[in-house]
Amino acid sequence: MTALPIITRMHTETTNFKQTSRRILHLGLALMALTLLGACSTINTKVTSFSAWPADAAGSTFAFVRPANKADDLEQQTYEAYATTTLQSVGLVPVAQGQAPRMLVEVSSNFSTREKVFSEPIYVDQSFFVPGTRDVHGNFQPGYWVRPFGSGYVGERQVVRTINTSRIKLRLLDTKNAPAGQPKAVYESTAVYAGDNPDLPDLAPYLIRGALDGFPGKNGQVRVLNFDPETGQIIKR
């Protein structure tokens, strides 16, 4: 008669331990997912710059030029406003009303999508749980997880991902000593984002800052910049 309570307690404790183990496992997986999400939340841009910046161009005045079909385009004006702030941060000055600027600035943008197919490995967790037991003296031994073989590779699967590409290009043209209507390009920089975010307007401030990072820099420089979306700061070059 005394064995029944022991068996009942053993079953209850084993069940509770299994439930607790599952909760801990699920919590761990959730925390891992949040960690991975956080790690992927930076905004990465690839920047390619070409520079032939004149030695006497520090503090030059600038004004924007735009295609006739974008004369009243609000999106274009927004990007130019971002560029104005960034150009001022590197020492250039907006031209005064009625004055001729030394530098003409072109801002162009582009957005596209494409599908990329790639192989992804599949792994199966081969762990199993050994339930707790009670010895002949009534002492409970807790259960435990066993992973004798670790995660097993079982094959590959094809995954299709949509890649959204946002691109902004800045060109600075020097009018000094140039034939009328033929200013000379002295700085060109293109910043590109390729990833999940489909919204160019959200990415434009980062792309423009990236295009002018290290201005005027070295000719033919290619680099990847990582932005913190919370602060807007570059956290890695």
Per-position DSSP letters for 105-163, written without gaps between them: EEEEEEEEEEEEEEEEEEEEE--EEE--EE-TTS-EE--EEE-SS-EEEEEEEEEEEEE
Contact residues for 201 (Cβ-Cβ < 8 A; gap 6+): 75, 78
Kindly give the pairing relationship between strand 43-51 and strand 221-227: antiparallel
Kindly give the pairing relationship between strand 61-64 and strand 93-94: parallel
Copy the structure tokens of residue 202.
């959200």
Contact residues for 66 (Cβ-Cβ < 8 A; gap 6+): 73, 76, 80, 106, 107
Could you read off the pLDDT tens digit of each residue along the chain, which spans 237 residues? 444 444 444 444 444 444 444 454 444 444 444 444 444 588 999 999 999 999 999 999 999 999 888 888 999 999 999 999 999 999 999 999 999 999 999 999 999 999 888 788 887 776 778 888 888 888 888 887 777 666 777 788 888 889 999 999 999 999 998 888 899 999 999 999 999 999 999 999 999 999 999 999 999 999 999 999 888 888 877
Task: Say what the pLDDT of residue 149 is.
Answer: 66
| 229: preceding bond cis by omega (within 30 degrees) | no
**Global pTM value:** 0.68
CA angle 38–26–14, rounded 5-degree value: 160
Task: Say what the pLDDT of residue 71 is.
Answer: 81
